[in-house]
Amino acid sequence: MSVYFKSYNRRAVLRGGAMLGGLTLSTALGSRVANAAFDTTFAPEGKIAVGTILPLSGGFTVVSQPWIHSIKYAIDEVNAAGGIKVGGETYQVENVIGDEQYSAAGGISAFKKMAADGVHYTAGYVSVEAPAAVQGINERSNAMMITGITGKDLIMTNNKLRFYEFAVAQATAPYHALYAFNELGIRRAASIELTNTWGTDFHLAFARTFEELGGEVVNRSYLEASQTDFSAQVSKMVAAKSEMLYIIMGDGPASAAALQARNGGLADIPLFAEGAWGPETFQDAGGAKNVDGTVYQGSRPYVFWSDKHSELSRKLNEDTDLYLNNWFWHGYDSTKIVLWAMEEANSLDPREVIEAIPVVAEKRRDELMIRPEGAIATANKGVFLKIPLWQSRFDASADFLNESCLVPVGGEQYQGLPGWMPENWAGYTSDPKDESVNWYPTLNEIEAMRKDAGETRMPL
């Protein structure tokens, strides 16, 4: 059975009586369009409401604040360009902010409040626990989830109203293995991962290809989100004679893990990274020294600078005292895609808008910073954006306000590498608990699937 939607329908915009109330709204967004016949079901109080659900306090705000502002900036730009035109009417967009608190309880509480107030589009969800808690509830509330956190038990569940807008671990981690084995000559790897589906997917996707190439994972360690002492794990890595360390966690604990690895006997081995790594990792001299040169995969706008970067970088730094990071692009381009899909579908109903996302990803590719190579629309699991990534190294000496902190590595196979699984992968149609599915294919197996599916990479 094809994983694609069978049809793309344009239907009249539904009308109802839901109203928006009691929400924390951005005061900087545009005002209501005068004298429009507003759709009160999907545009409460005459405006399209897009919710952002991310932590508003705590250590993770170095990630969530750029993300929150990226969604706001995208909305500001759409409003300044005239808003969204649907059904002969013009709508402004309003941004609703909810506190995820980096927890399931915080995420579901924020979502339920928004759903009760008529918000049908929510983005963010940086923890694994929050989007997992909202899964299913969003469909019953006719609300699209716009997410970018990977993990098969999180993104391969049934959810027709999921727009997944970033890279899939199964597709990208094998390139880390290829680079480590072929380019750096590494044969003995160690990893330390967050204990959830996100961490598991990155580790296993890396390990399968690394082992097929002839390497060995000599130590696999785990951590909890609040852990700060990694000395025991580091000691085991040293004893196992590890030649590289794959750090699969956010930048806060990752910086601590890198420091302890450097001071605990792993002073010279290469570091590879996943998670919320960005310029903030390098703010102190010790952090910069320990993570400089770390291998990380970044999307196009996180690697290549432009005038638009300069504009957004100055604005973000003025508003937050932070810098553009990979997670900024999670919010910025995906928000525009969803809003433009409303116009493409001529509807504000999420069930129609999500079907228009693949069309928008193709038609308006060159207007997007991330330059997607299309999208995969599944029958039951939503839409997955095709994001190209670049194998790169962090440059701690970069001027974060005026240039990228990532420098691409050499080798054509590491430039614009596919951040999505082939369209014929069984994961797009299977239950994540189905053990008969090859959830972690090697890079050779993935390339064979791409060939069978007729996938070709677009010119970069």
- Residue 92 domain-assigned (yes or no): yes
Partners of 216 in the beta sheet?
188
pLDDT band (50, 70, 90) for residue 290: confident
Mean pLDDT of 410-416: 92
Q: pLDDT band for position 148 (50/70/90)?
A: very high
Annotate 320-354 with three-state secondary structure.
HCCCCCCCHHHHHHHHHHHHHHHHHHCCCCHHHHH
291 shares a domain with 184: yes
Give the residue with greater pLDDT, 422 vs 39: 422
Query: Could you tell me if 290 and 311 lie in one domain?
Result: no
Highest mean pLDDT among 20-29, 78-87, 221-230: 78-87
Same domain membership, residue 137 and residue 192: no
279 and 417, same domain (yes or no): yes
448 is a domain residue:
no
Residue at 274: amino acid letter: E
Reading phi first (left if > 0) and then psi (alpha if -120 to 50, else beta), residue 22 is in left
What is the pTM (predicted TM-score) of this model? 0.90
One domain for residues 213 and 361: no
**CATH code (residue 100):** 3.40.50.2300
Higher pLDDT among residues 16 and 118, named by residue: 118
Q: Which two tokens stand for residue 85?
A: 């035109």
Residue 51 in any domain: the answer is: yes
Identity at 185, one-letter amino acid code = G
pLDDT value at position 456?
Answer: 77
Average pLDDT over residues 399-410: 94
Closest by CA to 65, choosing from 290, 323, 393, 259, is: 323
Is 283 a domain residue? yes
Q: What share of the chain is helix, strand, coil (3-state, %, to 5)?
A: 40, 20, 40
Residues 283, 341, single domain; the answer is: no
pLDDT band at 31 (very low <50, low <70, confident <90, very high): very low
Same domain, 297 and 196: yes
The tens digit of pLDDT for each residue in 49-100 reads 999 999 999 878 888 999 999 999 999 999 999 999 999 999 999 999 999 9
Is 417 part of a structural domain of the chain?
Answer: yes
What's residue 12's pLDDT?
Answer: 28
| Per-residue model confidence (pLDDT) at position 21 | 32
pLDDT band at 283 (very low <50, low <70, confident <90, very high): low
The Cα diameter of the chain in Å comes to 72
Sheet holding 375-377, edge to edge: 84-86, 89-99, 47-54, 121-124, 144-147, 162-164, 383-385, 375-377
Query: Is pLDDT at 29 greater than 60 in this prediction?
Result: no
200 and 68 inside one domain: no
Cα 302 off chain centre by? 13
Q: What is the pLDDT of residues 417-451, one digit of tens each?
A: 999 999 999 999 999 999 999 999 999 999 999 99
Q: Give tens-digit pLDDT for 325-337.
A: 988 999 999 999 9
User: In the predicted model, is pLDDT for residue 171 greater than 50?
Assistant: yes
Residues 81 and 149 in one domain: yes
Q: Which domain holds residue 147?
A: 44-167+306-385
Examine residue 206 and state whether it is found in any structural domain, yes or no.
yes
pLDDT of amino acid 8: 29
The pLDDT of residue 62 is: 86
Residue 14 has pLDDT above 90, yes or no: no
Q: Is the pLDDT of residue 36 over 50?
A: no
pLDDT band at 25 (very low <50, low <70, confident <90, very high): very low
Better-predicted residue by pLDDT, 458 or 106: 106
In the numeric block, which tokens belong to residue 175?
């390139």
pLDDT tens across 347-381, in order? Answer: 999 999 999 999 999 999 999 999 999 999 999 99
> Other CB atoms closer than 10 Å to residue 11's CB: what's the count?
11
Are residues 232 and 373 located together in one domain of the fold? no
Q: What does the DSSP 8-state code read for residue 457?
A: P
Distance CA 30, CA 92 (A): 6
The answer to whether residues 182 and 237 belong to one domain is yes
Number of domains observed in the structure of the chain:
2
Q: What percent of the chain has pLDDT over 90?
A: 76
Q: Domain boundary at 358, 385, 412, which?
A: 385
Looking at residue 457, what is its pLDDT?
67
> Is the pLDDT reported for residue 23 higher than 60?
no
- Tell me, yes or no, whether 210 lies in a domain: yes
DSSP letter for 373, please.
-
pLDDT band at 286 (very low <50, low <70, confident <90, very high): low
C-alpha 337: how far from chain center: 14
More confident residue, 292 or 205: 205
pLDDT surpasses 70 at 302: yes
Residue 22 pLDDT: 31
Structural domain includes residue 53: yes
The better pLDDT of the pair 279, 85 is held by 85
On whether both 245 and 298 belong to a single domain, the answer is: yes
